[in-house]
Structure 1
């Protein structure tokens, strides 16, 4: 059973030791909560991907509510929730490789659908790296994802079916 993330308001209720133990449990129980990218033996990127129920904030988000749940009944949906790419390795294909690996990881562990919540920089021209941690519409589109909703300006829900 995957470890469910705490609500943001509950994070301060857990000591650093308790959060460390929860993270360790995520890895011990498998599957891993994401994928890493390496170049020359150095970790240069991370992409978080887990069953959507592990992310209560995503399930409560306006972005997801706007997309609706049509066609998802009984499907195992996994969420690509964030990317971290080292500054010296951005715009070099790392995010695309991470997304490809995240999709493979999700499908290998039973996902029927992989879902992302990317930003559309063309509608948010002032978006910087800190705003793009969920990926871009262009990145997900290039990986074969289809847009399900753009009801929240500058944000999309995109899905890829097995």
Structure 2
């Protein structure tokens, strides 16, 4: 299986939409904006305004995430970017800021049904590390759950698991006060200063 990963640039917005849009047209969906925007802005956009806001983000540098393709079809999404640019995350009372290092954050994974458990998320995380390093990030963080060896509903594990991050060279830094799927979320970090990884 050959997986290609590309930044979610404006010309790939339709592929982003194929992964983030709700299955039922008009239904509410996060569009991976919740960690990035203040609650007031997110509420003001409403369901109808969120796709356009994500399209705008795809036109910025850096783009808001990465897309995984299999045989040319989009099958996975990873939201990643500077933590400082994620308003709601920086003000979070449950996911604390460890220090003043200008880290990048991996905040979400989406893998299309039928393609899960094939290593898509692992490949996206690997590419996210290189993506952040290519922009000069000193470190990259994630906020996954500790599944404790049990199987977790994939919908609720959108933040990733500690084992996924550990396999990518991340280390546990601290427990947070946040949970997902009833599991505690951890701050996990990979330092990029000593052995930077060049982006493809």
Name the TM-score, length of structure 2 as normaliser.
0.68
Q: Which runs of 5+ in 2 are unaligned?
A: 1-34, 178-182, 193-200
For the residue of structure 1 that corresponds to 2:140, the secondary structure is: strand
Q: Which runs of 5+ in 1 are unaligned?
A: none
Say whether residues 1:81 and 2:112 are aligned partners.
Answer: no
Looking at secondary structure, tell me which structure has more helix per residue: 1
The Cα of 1:59 is off from its aligned counterpart by: 1.9
Greater length-normalized contact order (CA 8 Å, ≥ 6 residues apart) = 1
Name the TM-score, length of structure 1 as normaliser.
0.83
1:88-139 CA-to-partner distances (Å, cap 9, x unmatched) read 111111000000111111111121110000011118x574112100100000
For the residue of structure 1 that corresponds to 2:131, the secondary structure is: helix
Q: Map residues 121-160 of structure 1 onto 2, 5 A cutoff.
A: 121-122=147-148, 127-152=152-177, 154-160=184-190
Q: CA contact under 8 A between 2:95 and 2:176: conserved in structure 1?
A: no
Q: CA contact under 8 A between 1:63 and 1:156: conserved in structure 2?
A: no
Could you say what the CA RMSD is over the residues aligned between the two structures, in angstroms?
A: 2.4
For the residue of structure 1 that corresponds to 2:124, the secondary structure is: helix
- Count of aligned residue pairs for this structure pair: 154
Distance 1:79 1:151, change over 3 A: closer
Aligned to 1:93: 119
